Amino acid sequence: MPGLIRGVARTAVVAGTATAVSNRVTRRQQGRWAAQEGYGAYAPAPQSAAEPPAPDMTDKIEQLRQLGELRDRGVLTEAEFEEQKRRLLQA
């Protein structure tokens, strides 16, 4: 059972990090396209669902706290914790 919990926790952390990175890349691309001349003529229709706000530092601190708790409980190894922390702080 602990192996299953570790796998689920690791998947949740990786999925959350991937989502944050994907959203950041999308915002950067949209910003670059908007800066190009003539972009307005080909702009996609606005989406009906509102995007969540960009994560601020308090969100990162909360995620780091959660990662630390997972490490302390033995769900993540020290190496896994350091890797996820690095990814989170780079986002």
Tell me the pLDDT tens digit for each residue of 19-61.
777 788 888 888 877 777 665 555 566 665 655 555 578 888 8
* CB contact at 8 A, 9 and 76: yes
* CB contact at 8 A, 91 and 20: yes
Residue 5 has pLDDT above 60, yes or no: yes
Sign of CA dihedral 32, 14, 69, 90: negative
Q: Give the mean pLDDT of the chain.
A: 78
Query: pTM above 0.85?
Result: no
List Cα–Cα distances, 58 to 54, 61, 62, 65, in angstroms.
Answer: 11, 5, 6, 10
Report pLDDT for 77: 92
